[in-house]
Amino acid sequence: MADAFPNKLTSRESLRTKTYQLLESETSKNFVAKAINFFLIVLILSNVIAAVFESEADYHELYHQEFALFEFISLSLFCVEYLLRVWCCIENPKYQAFSTIKARTDYIFTPMALIDLIAILPFIIALFFAIDLRTLRLLRVLRLLKLTHYFKGFNIFINVIAKELKSITAAMMVMMFLIIIAASLMHSVEGKIQPDVFGSIIQSFWWAVVTMTTVGYGDVVPITAVGKVISTFIMLVGVGLVALPAGMLAARFGEELRERKKKLDAHITNALTDGYIDQEEYKALETLADKLEIEPDELQRSIQVLKQGQHGIKCPHCGK
């Protein structure tokens, strides 16, 4: 009888470990995990499509019951998924040193867990508050954010934005300053002639924003010669300035990929010090490649290239 409790505990821990592997670990070699991920991706996309079509009054009236049933099933599945992720999160190696409560509390406040919470938020809100239907639809559309679980490129993009946040913020601040200056100039030049659109600096903001970020919509245009000269200068400055953050992100994105590749190559080179990579070393490299979001094919190419490079290196002592 005394041994029954440890057995139950071991069985529970084994189930929790398997659940973590299915939901959070690498899925490229596990058919069941791949199937679960595929199903959840289809479910997320179907929810967004349903929310889009339900916003059309005709579809909403015709298929009101079907939409409600689909929403109930989806919310139930998302709730189960969320609770399972919270339950098995303590299997994550970074939470091994934490207590169960501390690990789960930390996980709940991670960006990914908060995104999962957004997916079930309409159900929670509807239980306690009367909320506008359009707001509920918006929350349902935000389920698209759950796709960050399944597409690794999102994580690279988030890392790039985080690293370039200061530079992007500075560029956006400069753009805001120029928009305010442009709106003020056009108000002083065109305000008396076109008081309905340039009568105040606040009214001039619309023209300044669309001119700075595009080439204007044509609904508000300057009439005076001075106004046209100012708008020409603003458009030329805007074309270069708006493209600046995009250029920063593109450059940083390439740099991020090179840094990750360089880190992987360093570990491959270290594993090749004895001339070959054993099974344990290869498994560690696979884990690192998955963490760095580098495809298995790219890992294989890197190993082959570095192996060939090692064969071409001569010993400084014997010359062989």
Model pLDDT, residue 27: 53
Sequence-distant (≥ 6) Cβ neighbours of residue 295 within 8 angstroms? 289
Half-sphere exposure of 167 (CA within 13 A, CB side): 15
Cβ of 279: how many Cβ atoms within 10 Å? 7
Model pLDDT, residue 2: 46
Domain borders along the chain are 4-150, 166-311
Per the CB < 8 A criterion, the answer to whether 132 and 163 are in contact is no
User: Taking all residues of the chain, what is their mean pLDDT, rounded to a whole number?
Assistant: 81
Q: pLDDT for 198-233, tens place per residue?
A: 989 998 998 888 888 776 667 788 889 998 898 888
pTM over cut 0.85: no
Write out the H or E segment, with its range, that includes residue 121. helix 111-128
Residue 317 predicted with pLDDT over 60: no
Model pLDDT, residue 255: 86
Model pLDDT, residue 184: 93
* Residue 183 pLDDT class (50, 70, 90 cuts): very high
Of 152 and 111, which is predicted with more confidence? 111
* Residue 181 pLDDT class (50, 70, 90 cuts): very high
d(CA 65, CA 68): 5
Name the one residue in this structure whose structure tokens are 């009101």. Answer: 64
d(CA 112, CA 118): 10
Name the one residue in this structure whose structure tokens are 């708008």. Answer: 231
Residue 312 predicted with pLDDT over 70: no
CATH 1.10.287.70 assigned to domain 166-311? The reply is yes
Residue 306 predicted with pLDDT over 90: no
Amino acid residing at 221: V
Q: Which of 233, 315, 254, 291 is nearest to 93 (CA)?
A: 291
* DSSP code, position 29: T
Residue 26 predicted with pLDDT over 70: no
Name the one residue in this structure whose structure tokens are 């400055």. Answer: 237
Residue 4 predicted with pLDDT over 90: no
Residue 165 predicted with pLDDT over 70: yes
Per the CB < 8 A criterion, the answer to whether 126 and 136 are in contact is yes
**Over residues 79-105, mean pLDDT:** 87
Per the CB < 8 A criterion, the answer to whether 70 and 78 are in contact is no
Q: pLDDT for 127-138, tens place per residue?
A: 677 666 566 667
Model pLDDT, residue 149: 74
Q: Domain 4-150 falls in which CATH fold?
A: Four Helix Bundle (Hemerythrin (Met), subunit A) (1.20.120)
d(CA 212, CA 154): 29
Residue 52 predicted with pLDDT over 70: yes
Out of 33-47, 110-124, 165-179, pick the least confident.
110-124
d(CA 271, CA 262): 14
Q: pLDDT for 235-277, tens place per residue?
A: 888 888 877 888 888 888 888 888 888 988 888 888 888 777 8
